[in-house]
A and B are shown apart, each in its own frame.
Chain A
């Protein structure tokens, strides 16, 4: 058996071997010629392969989003939701409202908490939806701007309002006519999300913080202010502070708002742009005041009484998370039944009492008071008329605007 054993070779042999390895590179040998032609062939093939690729238009025009509805035959729903967005029993083993739905209708709900982030979830479902395939999900909950994009791309199924009597009757006026889904043809809100200003009283020395101007200009907050990395929340709140309406602003207004925040970044007034991770910083006092989501604040307040929130007199942004049925989903009617179920007052109250976000259902106060008196009077869950009047939504954007604005906002937050 032949085996390579360097020890066996003599010194000159070894030297020759090294030389051949080192010096042979420049010379034209059979091997180098073969290698060169191989590389050339690969390069040519590569170029061919490159131009064969391409990403087809995402928008599905003239193709029906609807699919064969197997609801009657298959009594089930695949429901994708965010974490901590559904009521859970004391022992954390069951989900009371979902179980009651199954008991009443016989429809089994496969509930998955697989949404953590809108942009990532879009990346996850995009390939199937763009290819016109079923995502395996009958009901998904996404934030309004993503819902708008999915509807715009033709990736959502039109709802049959005959299956949604409670939802149609009980949806509160504030959510009835978003500009991206007038008349709620495709979507119904799961919750409303007020974006407010939150502050840690200990870190501000007992002072109140109640405007974006104060966040951006108060020298005593320098380096202890954070904004949200969601463009619509941060820019929207700044627009309101500048006296502009986030529902109908121009490119110049947008640039001015970004410029205003850029100044805060340059002077180191703004510490960071955050996702959900601001909550721990705010609780510790590393962040003294910030733009925050109301639901987080209610949960923080339960553990830390120093956390306060304020509604700027200039107004605040309300976004929403919305239920919709993705194209080609197999159980649309079942999904509609579930959507409608969550608009029945006792069910809506039970859910709102657990998840502490704005309940989009009218007339739920009585039911909520039965569960918890203090929640029924909490304006972050049930906004009173004065508060609802200050609520604004960020207008929907065209595809070009979305890309251009996100690009500018990415420049602001450093990436």
Chain B
């Protein structure tokens, strides 16, 4: 708009109102790309899958919506062992990630000094290799005649794990332990990074203050550091547990027939058996179970400022 065209002396009111309407719309414009993305790549596939899960038919004759909700019940009845196993393995892996990741994140945040960036790069470094290659590497690490298994065998650790049902026949590969190890390794960075960010934000003077108030280091950790790092713990555990419970690569490559997780079942129902309704129903059940667990967990842990 050129200066000459400008209407003479617009009323003051309009000048104030105009930007305010526009400003009110700005958030929506900013949201638009995200909303469209979600609509096309999340909402539509969800509707499509929900529909598939209540259809019946076959590849050759086509599938029709018959509101066959029994598929859900049948899927659950047939595959609940894999469901339980998925949650158990993902839960164990998440716990191990937390136990391994917390000290490391603590070290990076408070003690690493000038090596902090280097250590952080080392944490992320495995991501530069493909997920599949990293998992296959574990087959070499845990090989039957390999060093790791030899050491564990000599120390009689394998006797204990075998008694617990985690390993069998003095081997680690093709047992639950191998799958959980693989899951833990593959998802560890997802635990460390959120933990690190929330630990790093803690003001060091709080530790000093705790010391001034005669708190022992252990008490300082329990009363100051841990509560302040809870957002990191919660987001870290979620970022580990949710993808781990749907993972099938680790179970497929490191496991055996009795370690298959629900991801494998969905994959095989969808691609091999061509039973699309069961595959869709299984996906929805998994989603619902994970959502339920996560909701309970977030409510329980009481972190309002999650991130």
Contact = CB atoms under 8 A, between A and B. Distances in A.
A313 B173 CA distance: 32
B138 to A, nearest CB: 12
A415 B82 contact: yes
Given A410-B272, A415-B82, A55 B57 contact: yes
A164 interface: no
B52 A55 contact: yes
Report the interface size class on chain A: 35 or more
B274 A403 contact: yes
A272 interface: yes
Interface stretch (B43-51, B90-98, B197-205, B209-217): B43-51
A53 B136 contact: no
Contacts of A413: 257, 260
Interface string A20-48: 00000000000000000000000000100
Nearest to B274: A403
**Residue with the greatest number of chain A CB neighbours at <10 A, chosen from B62, B67, B257:** B257
Contacts of A46: 47, 50
A414 interface: yes
A406 B273 contact: yes
Contacts, number: 119
A54 B259 contact: no
B260 A53 contact: no
Interface in A109-150: 119-120, 122-123
Given A58-B62, A223-B168, A277 B48 contact: no
A242 interface: no
B268 A54 contact: no
A84 B264 CA distance: 27
Nearest to B57: A55
A410 B168 contact: no
Interface string A265-283: 1001011110001001100
A339 B269 CA distance: 34
A59 B58 CA distance: 10
Contact of A54 (B55, B267, B270): B55
Given A265-B257, A400-B58, A415 B268 contact: yes
Contacts of B256: 271-272, 414
A284 interface: yes
Contacts of A59: 60-61
B102 interface: no
Contacts of A372: none
Nearest to A405: B273
A223 B171 contact: yes
Interface in A375-415: 399-400, 402-403, 406-407, 410, 412-415
A120 B272 CA distance: 9
A303 B148 CA distance: 25
A283 to B, nearest CB: 11
Contacts of B62: 54-58
A53 B52 contact: yes
Interface string B24-63: 0000000000000000000000011011101101111111
Contact of B136 (A50, A120, A277, A406): A277
A286 interface: yes
Contacts of A222: 169
B257 A414 contact: yes
Contact of B253 (A51, A277, A414): A277
Contacts of B123: none
Nearest to B171: A223
A285 B60 contact: no
| Chain A to chain B: the 3 pairs with minimum beta-carbon distance, closest first | A53-B51, A57-B62, A414-B257
26 contacts: A50-B50, A50-B65, A51-B65, A51-B67, A53-B48, A54-B62, A55-B276, A56-B62, A57-B61, A57-B62, A58-B59, A58-B60, A58-B62, A122-B271, A123-B270, A223-B168, A268-B169, A272-B257, A284-B145, A285-B145, A286-B145, A286-B171, A400-B58, A407-B273, A410-B265, A414-B258
Interface of A: 46, 49-59, 119-120, 122-123, 152-153, 222-223, 265, 268, 270-273, 277, 280-281, 284-286, 399-400, 402-403, 406-407, 410, 412-415
